[in-house]
Structure 1
Amino acid sequence: MRLSLTPPGELPSSTLKPEQYWIKLQKQKTLDGTRRFKYLSALAIKLCLIPNSNADTERLFSKVRKIKTEGRSELDNSTVSALLSCKVNCRDPCDSCTFNKDTLSKAECATKLYNSQHI
């Protein structure tokens, strides 16, 4: 195994985000065309993919628990998924939304169609 020091000028800027730094380092090649830091950079990039916290996951489970309460335990998974999507993606409270007449008309038609097929 041949070891050599890399001059600081050949290394990517230390101001880059970690994953950008390692991606740039992964692209460096020796004079014979082989990648210089093949295994080290591949490992570092994979380590950058590991979440450093499970707070986002915990928040999501908390939102699901608020949606699927004991009184709403019969909700279908697709309904829970749709409600969760609304909860995560809508920043404004639902009671502050305003809809135009066309949207309200389409929603009314869809509700009537659903009710006629399921009730």
Structure 2
Amino acid sequence: MPFSLSPAALWPIVMLFISNIFMTFAWYGHLKHKSTAMFFAILASWSIAFFEYCLAVPANRIGSTVYSTAQLKTMQEVITLVVFVGFSVFWLKESITWNHMIGFALIALGASFVFRA
């Protein structure tokens, strides 16, 4: 039987993915604009982070009916790495090296153990 996720299992993943895009911009987006005053960088980051919380909190609440908290946290970390790689390459114009990819793959491998029965 092919692998499939129910809507109840899929929505938290989608919401965590979108929330992570917001949070990555909140944490690292200002690095592209280093000449901006720190106060404005903080204010912008907090403003962006608000939307991250508006998605992450319900994602975890909904997800807790399907996943354990350890699984939710592990998903969040893996999603963070996926979003961060795209952000680094496309927004910050930084290169991802083989060392980065191997390190991220090892983290994902470790994360897979959390989902084993």
TM-score of the superposition, structure 1-length normalised? Answer: 0.29
**Based on CA coordinates, which of the two structures has the bigger radius of gyration?**
1
RCO higher in structure (CA 8 A, sep ≥6)? 2
More helix as a share of residues: 2
